[in-house]
Amino acid sequence: MIRATHGLAWFGGLLMLLAATSAHAELTLCNRTSYLMETAIGLENRVTVATRGWFRLEPGECKQALNGPLDADLVYVYGRTPPVYGNAPLPLRGQAALCIRPADFSIADARRCPASQQVRFSVAKPSDSPTGPVIYLAERADYDNAQAQLAGIQRLLAIAGYDSYPIDGVRSANSQAVIARFIKDRHLLPDAAASPGFFDKLLEAARNPEGVGFSWCNDTQYMVMASFGIVEMGSIVTRGWYRVAAGRCLRPDVRGDPYRLYSYAEAVDGDGRLVRRGETPLAWGGKIALCTRSSRFEIADQKDCKARGLTSAGFAVIDVNGKPSTIVRFKDP
């Protein structure tokens, strides 16, 4: 069970309980959001409402919620997400205050409990399907099941520090490369992404974003633009910029198994301007002069940066040889 959660009765205005009606068949819940969710349902018959939960739904997963035919005047739904999502979409107020329990539960009269044990459920009108009534939990992105699954993987990878943006459910070369890198970092089987338990591995990594490989972690209140250098074919190649949000970690795409990296980063304000302490930019680097530019870059020749219209910046040497985890932290002095 997820111990601490954010309630989710109406997914930040994005949760859509798709309309249509069906009866006399088993009820299915389908999670077409990019968030792992635990869901509870309420079934109203005349004046009594029974609630039951929790149904754990990975992104793109459907699960049967009833063992028999759906027989209810109204159906209600409530969902919650793990706190690892941080600023997850907040719930709007649902139509009914009903009882739940922290662990799995079935409550026959869900209006009779202390207010501290109640949450706001939203009315849901199940959609018809060949297998019976279905309640779809969906975002405005309107993912199908496969797209929701991939978007859910992308979202947890981003929280874990991987550069998996955009979170769009599109199977691109970048999304496939990031998933492959995660699998390699965690020493998983090559087909792990298609195996049961993969979302548990992602959730574990998201809770511990500093666990494997090389990472930047931003301990300041500002956005930090970071870059690194790596030796390839005998010369240093610099790459940037990588956006490291305040309070977050990011694991750049470091290919191969280098024994040394070079790191340089700058803090920027909301308008993208350098943050300064007096006349000095708030930056993190060292004494090795390497080339950067103002826009996204990959530079293989580190000679005469300024003469070639580039910027020379002082990079710090980072020893990563034989270390399972190396973290560079950006702090505001």
Whether pLDDT at 329 is above 80: yes
Q: Please give the Cα distance from 284 to 266 (Å, whole number).
A: 6
User: How many other CB atoms are there within 10 angstroms of residue 274's CB atom?
Assistant: 14
User: What do you get for the CA distance between the two ends of the chain, in Å?
Assistant: 40
Locate 176 and state its tokens.
Answer: 């496939």
Q: Is the pTM of this model over 0.75?
A: no
**3-state SS of 119-141?**
EEEEEECCECCCCCCEEEEECCC
Q: Residue 69: what pLDDT?
A: 83
Q: CA neighbours within 13 Å on the CB side: how many for 3?
A: 0
Residue 19 or residue 275, greater confidence: 275
Cis peptide preceding 241, ω within 30 of 0: yes
Q: Residue 88: what pLDDT?
A: 59
Are residues 301 and 316 in contact, defined by beta-carbon separation less than 8 angstroms?
no
Q: Residue 114: what pLDDT?
A: 93
Residue with tokens 């005469």: 304
Q: Residue 75's closest CA among 136, 33, 150?
A: 136
Q: Residue 75: what pLDDT?
A: 93
**70-79: pLDDT as tens digits:** 888 899 999 9
**77-109: pLDDT as tens digits:** 999 888 787 655 655 568 899 999 999 999 999
Single-letter code of the amino acid located at 33: T
Total count of residues recorded for the chain: 333
Helix/strand/coil for 42: strand
Locate 151 and state its tokens.
Answer: 């978007």
> What is the torsional sign of CA 291, 293, 298, 301?
negative
Q: Residue 215: what pLDDT?
A: 86
* Domain ranges (residues) in the chain: 6-142, 146-207, 213-330
**177-204: pLDDT as tens digits:** 999 989 988 889 999 999 999 999 999 9
Q: Residue 275: what pLDDT?
A: 95
| pLDDT band at residue 223 using 50, 70 and 90 as cut-offs | very high
pLDDT-above-70 percentage for the chain: 88
Within 8 A by CB and 6+ apart from 35, the residues are 8, 11, 59, 81, 85, 88, 89, 152, 155
Residue with tokens 């049967």: 64
**Mean pLDDT, residues 310-332:** 90
Average pLDDT, the chain: 86
**Mean pLDDT, residues 233-258:** 85
**271-306: pLDDT as tens digits:** 889 999 989 999 999 999 999 999 889 999 999 999
Residue with tokens 């649902």: 94
Bridge partners of 49? Answer: 44
Crossing angle of helices 145-159 and 173-185, rounded to 10°: 60
Single-letter code of the amino acid located at 250: L
Q: Residue 32's closest CA among 134, 132, 120?
A: 134
User: How many other CB atoms are there within 10 angstroms of residue 103's CB atom?
Assistant: 9
To the nearest 10°, the Cα dihedral for 94, 96, 97, 98?
A: -120
Are residues 154 and 160 in contact, defined by beta-carbon separation less than 8 angstroms?
no
pLDDT-above-90 percentage for the chain: 57
Query: Which spans in 131-229 are helix H?
Result: 145-159, 173-185, 198-207
| pLDDT band at residue 211 using 50, 70 and 90 as cut-offs | low
Residue 1 or residue 114, greater confidence: 114
Single-letter code of the amino acid located at 102: P
Whether pLDDT at 22 is above 70: no
